[in-house]
Amino acid sequence: MTEMPKLTYDVATALAQGQRDSQEDAVIADFPLDGDIGFAVLADGMGGHAAGDVASKIVVTEVFSELKLQSGEAGRFEANMPAILAQAASVANECVRLHAQHNPGSHGMGATLVAPVLLGDKMFWVSVGDSPLYLFRDGELMQLNEDHSLAGQIDLLVRKGLMDQQTAENHPDRHCLTSVLIGDEIARIDCPKKPLTLRPGDIVVVASDGLQFLENSEIEGLIQEKAGDSSAEIARSLISALEALDDPHQDNVSICVIKADTGQTQKAPVHITPDAEETISNLFLEEEAIAAEDEVAEEPQIAATASTRSGNKITVIARKTLGGLSMLYHFKRPSERSA
């Protein structure tokens, strides 16, 4: 049985204040180089400048700290992942309660939470509230986590024919949360016991609901367009699209983009121009003649340079060895070229 290549992750985070007076989102990601464990934590605060930004920072800090502490023993961490995630959410919720209790001015503060944890190719998550966790796979975007707001119930009325689409989209209670970390009992928590298996090419997007000022089809199209670029470019593209909307009601937005790959680079096909082909052919003939007379290995020498059809530059390096002739090729991208 062929062993699957280990997945590697390219990760980037981004925040934008939108049209709000303050930034109430918080996000952090921890993906150690060559590590088997990585996670992101995102929270969207509520309660205004005096409390929302504090609530989101409390939630992100507490959940991140708990995950970092528990991840020291990888085997135990994976075996108890759902329980650890649920516990982390509870600890953060309790910290929000204690802060509000000792700071009366912050009464009513709270925050959403979404935290995916990646163990090799497996992804667990915990979420409370309406901050979405998306998976982009094979050109399609899907939301993985539950939406703990009235939006789902309002959309259900539309599907049953009890409300028209336009009324549903503009319903004043559409974004009312049905579950949030506010210090009280957590009404609903999304924490699947079985992980999602990720594949090379998958793109995970963790976000606050500020991203949803874009339609899902727009988000899908932007990710499709930038799928071959870095996670940072994808995040930048999404933020730029929101800025281009110039919506006066634009909410804070925070994003973490996680790209899954095998870390293996693929060799591009080489198309050699006729002049380069002739140069290389002559080089082989010359080196074979030299090798027949002299069996002493020499330092490699640049023997020929020619342009490929793709516009790159090929440098041919020949090395005489005791066993014959070896050839090395270096393809120079436009960014590497000198004037």
Band the pLDDT of 335: cuts 50, 70, 90. very low
What token pair was written down for 29? 């990601």
Rounded-to-integer distance, Cα 129 and Cα 109, Å = 14
Is the four-CA dihedral 34, 38, 44, 49 of positive or negative sign?
negative
Eight-class DSSP state of 184: S
Cβ atoms of residues 91 and 66 within 8 Å: yes
Among the ranges given (35-39, 100-104, 226-230, 285-289), the one the predictor scored with the smallest mean pLDDT: 285-289
Q: Residue 197: exposed, middle, or buried by beta-carbon count in 10 A (0-12, 13-18, 19+)?
A: exposed
CATH code of the domain occupying 8-261:
3.60.40.10
Q: 139: phi > 0 → left, psi -120 to 50 → alpha, else beta; which?
A: left
What token pair was written down for 331? 């393809």
Rounded-to-integer distance, Cα 18 and Cα 125, Å = 27
pLDDT at position 284: 53
Cβ atoms of residues 112 and 128 within 8 Å: yes
Q: 324: phi > 0 → left, psi -120 to 50 → alpha, else beta; which?
A: left
Cβ atoms of residues 231 and 10 within 8 Å: yes
With CA atoms as reference, report the closest residue to 15 among 181, 247, 238.
238
Among the ranges given (88-92, 112-116, 268-272), the one the predictor scored with the smallest mean pLDDT: 268-272
Q: Is the pLDDT of residue 289 over 70?
A: no
Reported as half-sphere exposure (CB side, CA atoms, 13 A), residue 87 has a value of 11
Rounded-to-integer distance, Cα 138 and Cα 155, Å = 26
Q: Where are the domains of the chain?
A: 8-261, 274-336
Rounded-to-integer distance, Cα 47 and Cα 112, Å = 12
What token pair was written down for 13? 């985070």
Rounded-to-integer distance, Cα 58 and Cα 111, Å = 9
pLDDT digits (tens, 9 = 90+) for 26-45: 999 999 988 889 999 999 99
Among the ranges given (75-79, 114-118, 204-208), the one the predictor scored with the smallest mean pLDDT: 75-79
pLDDT at position 269: 44
Among the ranges given (1-15, 83-97, 102-116), the one the predictor scored with the smallest mean pLDDT: 1-15
Q: Is the pLDDT of residue 73 over 70?
A: yes
Please tell me the total number of residues recorded for the chain in this structure: 339
3-state secondary structure of 253: strand
Q: How far is CA 49 from CA 23, 87, 120, in A?
A: 8, 28, 38
Q: Is the pLDDT of residue 286 over 90?
A: no
Q: Is the pLDDT of residue 84 over 70?
A: yes
pLDDT digits (tens, 9 = 90+) for 236-268: 999 999 999 999 999 999 999 999 998 754 444
Rounded-to-integer distance, Cα 262 and Cα 250, Å = 37
Residues 6+ apart with CB under 8 A from 21: 49
Q: Whole-structure pTM over 0.85, yes or no?
A: no
pLDDT digits (tens, 9 = 90+) for 179-216: 999 999 999 999 999 999 999 999 999 999 999 999 99
